[in-house]
């Protein structure tokens, strides 16, 4: 992987852009609709894992018509500003879209479900799906939709969680509304894929796997500390860059995740030419 035109690494450009978004929101009169997103841009430009996931994709090449499927919107905001692609983003929640558009009015965001994409066949040159597919119970349906809306030779960039042993993660509340299915008295939150599940569950269609790499945190205590004390840890969120930007072991071979909460796999998938 090479950086775009010798520019700063992706995580640093994202971090700077997050500050830029907050400043722009202030200059536009600090519209109340964007308060939560704007303050988060200032205090916590990125959560611990996003330094790898978003930074990795910020260093990829994008052009043409592109679709972001519910990924953290800081990435598409940066890519749009830098002129890397003409982006459309989707999200399940209209409120989230309204808040982001108050912070970055240039973003083209629409309410849509990843399992029922409202776009024609072969509509996009590239798609991204960052830390989303694991939250979708019908992951095969979402992958089929991404395949459908990509043009022949189009590229999908996808990241998702992996674990030593595959498992479902449950929570007490429906964080994603009706998209969060109940299993008994528990609510499904995410699936952590076993490394052997990636091909069987996500690559059932004839994708060309151009690149596959794995990442694990060298030290997970920073992530544990951050989430354990949220929201009280937010005022120190900007300091995460001092440790999280360089806290990852990245390899093309499957990592040993014994005793670790999870890792991440990044896939660059190409739809074959017609």
Q: Is 270:207 a contact under the CB 8 Å cutoff?
A: yes
What confidence tens digit (pLDDT) does each residue in 5-20 have?
558 999 999 999 999 9
- Which of these, 221, 250, 254, lies nearest to 9 by C-alpha position? 250
Structural domains in the chain, CATH included, are 4-270 (3.40.50.150)
What confidence tens digit (pLDDT) does each residue in 218-274 have?
999 999 999 999 999 999 999 999 999 999 999 999 999 999 999 999 999 999 998
The CA distance from 149 to 104, in Å, is 26
Q: Is 88:68 a contact under the CB 8 Å cutoff?
A: yes
User: What pTM was computed for the model?
Assistant: 0.94
């Amino acid at each position: 992987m090479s950086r775009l035109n010798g520019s700063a690494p992706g995580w640093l450009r994202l971090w700077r852009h997050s500050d830029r978004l907050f400043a722009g929101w202030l200059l536009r009169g600090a519209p109340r609709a964007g308060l939560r997103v704007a303050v988060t841009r200032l205090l916590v430009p990125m959560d611990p894992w996003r330094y790898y996931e978003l930074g990795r994709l910020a260093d990829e090449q994008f052009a043409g018509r592109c679709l972001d499927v519910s990924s953290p919107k800081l990435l598409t905001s940066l890519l749009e500003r830098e002129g890397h692609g003409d982006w459309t983003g989707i999200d399940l929640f209209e409120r989230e879209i309204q808040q982001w558009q108050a912070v970055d009015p240039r973003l083209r965001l629409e309410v849509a479900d990843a399992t029922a994409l409202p776009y024609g066949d072969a509509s996009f040159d590239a798609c991204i799906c960052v830390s989303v597919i694991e939250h979708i119970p019908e992951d095969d349906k979402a992958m089929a939709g991404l395949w459908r809306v990509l043009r022949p030779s189009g590229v999908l960039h996808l990241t998702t969680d992996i674990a030593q042993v595959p498992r479902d993660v449950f929570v007490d509340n429906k964080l994603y509304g009706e998209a969060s299915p109940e299993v008994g008295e528990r609510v499904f939150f995410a699936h952590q894929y076993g490394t052997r599940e990636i091909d069987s569950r996500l690559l059932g269609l004839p994708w060309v796997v151009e690149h596959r790499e794995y990442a694990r945190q060298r030290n997970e205590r920073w992530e544990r500390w951050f989430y354990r004390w949220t929201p009280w840890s937010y005022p120190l969120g900007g300091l995460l860059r001092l440790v999280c930007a360089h806290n990852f072991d990245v390899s093309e071979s499957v990592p040993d995740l014994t005793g670790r909460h999870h890792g991440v796999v990044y896939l660059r998938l190409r739809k074959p030419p017609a």
